[in-house]
Structure 1
Amino acid sequence: MTRSIEVNGAAPYTVTVGSQLIEPAVQSIPDAAKRVLIVHSAPLRERADVLRARIEATGRTPVVAEVPDAEAGKTAEVAAFCWQVLGKSDFTRSDVVIGMGGGAVTDLAGFVAASWLRGVGVIQMPTTVLGMVDAAVGGKTGINTNEGKNLVGAFHEPLSVWCDLDTLQTLPANDRVAGLAEVVKGGFIADTGILDLVEAHAEQLKAADLTEEALTVLEELIARKIQVKATVVAADLKESHLREILNYGHTFGHAIEYTERYQWRHGAAVSVGMVFAAELGHLAGRLDEDSVERHRSILTSLGLPITYPAERWDALHTAMKRDKKTRGDLLRFVVLQGIGNPVRLEGPDPVLLLGAYDAVSSAPVRGGAIAL
């Protein structure tokens, strides 16, 4: 079954979830496009070759840019390589970029499209759970720098998004589970039915081999999370207010990624980040203890981490100051005023921050939660 999810706004587009989507994706390329750049990671070389052949069969000129996998591909150097390919291929404003890969590849492809000739069309073909439910949807594009994650980027909505579930059959279980952290996030901030589904099927979802039932549940979860994001970004594309709720767990999570030099999977870092945010919300009087425990229970049931080593607070705190939500020296977090009701918490007391860190630490920090 194929599902279509509409993302409304200034430039509406459709996210399609289903199987065998290469052909309809090719047919969606605008008639005016004569050249198509396929940006893909090395593990997807065979699938990219199939896409290239189908594009060539339409009379267009396909060009391929193979880039490093994961966060190693989200650099200025890799973006410059893609720009060089575009320039040598005489790409014009009517031509199109396709991003095929995980969240890092779709972030990169979107940024390359946004920056080339001040904006050419991009079609996203995410091949991981994370890419499908988060990175490829919503028009956020970007690359990392030595100073932090996604600090350079642009808002650039895709022409369309194609989530081909066939690609998940060969996705390593650890990558699938890491992507589910973003799905769970959607449950905590909006669609609590997501949490119910995960609680009922966690063992199946994290298994090395997916059963037919697990695939059906996974499809439902992916579609529901995409709908959450579609609703939010339609109301606030450029993150001026509502869209910040999608960053639940990300302020601390991004700090972990930066501190670990991107050796942690994004979903694993966000998993710890959500527990940190839950503990912070609890200490601030916003979230009850049972809801904090539900965070721990659901994430643990999927095999996701919920703790981070102690004695690294200074590095994490410095990294959080670079977060996109920070205003001046004022740290801003998304916390929950009850499950399904995200709110902003601005400039929390350092005692609360240390208390939340202690709660996710594998050992006490600075002698206790309240010690400064």
Structure 2
Amino acid sequence: MLYDVPVNLGDRSYTIHIGAGILDSIGACCADAGLKGKCLIITDENVGGHYAETVFQSLEKSGFAPSVVTLPPGEQTKCGDQVFALYSECIKAGLDRKSFIVALGGGVMGDLAGFVAASFLRGIPFVQVPTSLLAMVDSSVGGKTGINIPEGKNLVGAFYQPELVMADLDTLKTLPPREYAAGLAEIVKYGIIYDAPFFQTLEEHVEKLPDVGNAELLAKMVGRSCEVKAEVVAQDEREGGLRAILNFGHTVGHAIEKVAGYGEYVHGEAVAIGSVYAARASVELSGLPQADADRIEKLFIDLNLPVRAPGLEWAKLRAALAVDKKTIGGMPKFVLASEIGTVTFGNEVPEELMERIWNEMG
């Protein structure tokens, strides 16, 4: 089963390959994409034990000279110290400007390895091999790379497109259920911001969505999510306008991750809470029917995702919002919905209302 999604960006165009059991063809896909020579596989301890050997052998079989570096898992790895350590690994592996990097893992590995690729020797090619649902439908697509600094998440990075994306659905079978559910949050987001019929389909199949063994449904979910993101990125690669709609739920979501401490809420969980917050703000400011806000919250609940973050003080969240990438002139910018499937970006929410919504969410 193979579901190819093109990302049309002129001379930076590439293809997202989606299927089950396709990981051992990565070498052939890299060769077809015109890549050559030495490469460095960057992975983490959780993923590497399962899949690094398969990727290594496939690349070697196709004539490449691969090396592997394995890092600790978790958001804390996405930092400046690891970037400089990886530059040294690139030199140790003998990489030059014709070489490439393979990001094997979830969003942390993709963001980190992509940023290293964007900056080493002023930019060498790289390939995304996402192994988490969240990475397959979000971070591996669209060319955003980056790292965290103490002041906030993803504040340092670059727009840098991969040469190809290889999403093997079979890798999701080793994904912890919590991480899988977190990926579903981003899939729900695509329905909210762009595709009301898709959102309704998710509602109708909600009991089947957590079944990682349902390859046909999974391929459709991942494929449609990638199509939506590809369509948006093709129109606005560097987030000068439309691409900002992809941040629905992320304004407060990123603040939750920072204030709670990275890892307390995984990214998709924070996005679910942030999406419920954004839906409530949309009812107040953008005419979103209360019934639609209720549907959004119910779908997250039905997917066993959190919709509250009890114990987090608004004052601390507000301070985190002040240094968010989406904040301009001290005011956070929100993506708000007028109905499911239709959103606008760049919206300001009055200070009093921001706090009231959070407090009402408990």
Same fold (TM over 0.5): yes
How far the C-alpha of 1:88 sits from its partner, in A, is: 2.1
SS at match of 1:29: helix
The answer for the alignment partner of 1:367 in structure 2 is: none
How far the C-alpha of 1:326 sits from its partner, in A, is: 1.1
1:349 aligns with 2:350: yes
How far the C-alpha of 1:58 sits from its partner, in A, is: 3.1
Q: Which runs of 5 or more structure 1 residues have no equivalent in the other structure?
A: 362-372
Where do residues 292-307 of structure 1 align in structure 2 (5 Å cutoff)?
Answer: 292-307=293-308
Q: 1:249 to 1:29 in 2, by over 3 A?
A: same
The answer for the alignment partner of 2:46 in structure 1 is: 43
Q: Which runs of 4+ in 1 moved over 6 A?
A: none
The answer for the alignment partner of 1:369 in structure 2 is: none
- Larger mean Cα displacement after TM superposition, 297-306 or 23-32: 23-32
How far the C-alpha of 1:311 sits from its partner, in A, is: 5.6
The answer to whether the 8 Å contact 1:4/1:16 transfers is yes
Q: Determine which of 117, 124, 130 is the counterpart of 2:128.
A: 124
SS at match of 2:30: coil
Normalising to structure 2: TM-score of the pair? 0.95
Aligned mates of 1:108, 1:187 — CA distance in 2: 28
Aligned mates of 2:198, 2:77 — CA distance in 1: 31
The answer for the alignment partner of 1:241 in structure 2 is: 241
Where do residues 131-150 of structure 1 align in structure 2 (5 Å cutoff)?
Answer: 131-150=135-154
The answer for the alignment partner of 1:96 in structure 2 is: 100
How far the C-alpha of 1:310 sits from its partner, in A, is: 4.8
SS at match of 1:166: helix
The answer to whether the 8 Å contact 1:36/1:62 transfers is yes
Where do residues 1-372 of structure 1 align in structure 2 (5 Å cutoff)?
Answer: 1-10=1-10, 11-30=12-31, 31=34, 33-46=36-49, 47-206=51-210, 210-211=212-213, 214-263=214-263, 264-310=265-311, 312-361=313-362
- Larger mean Cα displacement after TM superposition, 80-89 or 113-122: 80-89
Aligned mates of 1:184, 1:138 — CA distance in 2: 18
Percent identical among aligned pairs is 37
1:121-159 per-position Cα deviation (integer Å, ceiling 9, x unaligned): 011110110010000000000111111100010000000
How far the C-alpha of 1:32 sits from its partner, in A, is: 5.4
Aligned mates of 2:35, 2:179 — CA distance in 1: 37
The answer to whether the 8 Å contact 1:279/1:359 transfers is no
Aligned mates of 1:74, 1:303 — CA distance in 2: 27
The answer to whether the 8 Å contact 1:197/1:217 transfers is no
Q: 1:51 to 1:26 in 2, by over 3 A?
A: same
The answer to whether the 8 Å contact 1:37/1:62 transfers is yes
Q: Which runs of 5 or more structure 2 residues have no equivalent in the other structure?
A: none
1:248-303 per-position Cα deviation (integer Å, ceiling 9, x unaligned): 00000000000111121100000000000011111114311111101111110101
How far the C-alpha of 1:225 sits from its partner, in A, is: 0.5
The answer to whether the 8 Å contact 1:138/1:229 transfers is yes
1:76-107 per-position Cα deviation (integer Å, ceiling 9, x unaligned): 11111111101222311110100010111111
Q: Aligned pairs, how many? A: 357
Normalising to structure 1: TM-score of the pair? 0.92
For the aligned residues, what is the CA RMSD? 1.5
1:334-361 per-position Cα deviation (integer Å, ceiling 9, x unaligned): 1112111111253321121122212322
The answer to whether the 8 Å contact 1:97/1:121 transfers is yes
The answer to whether the 8 Å contact 2:42/2:113 transfers is yes
The answer to whether the 8 Å contact 2:40/2:93 transfers is no
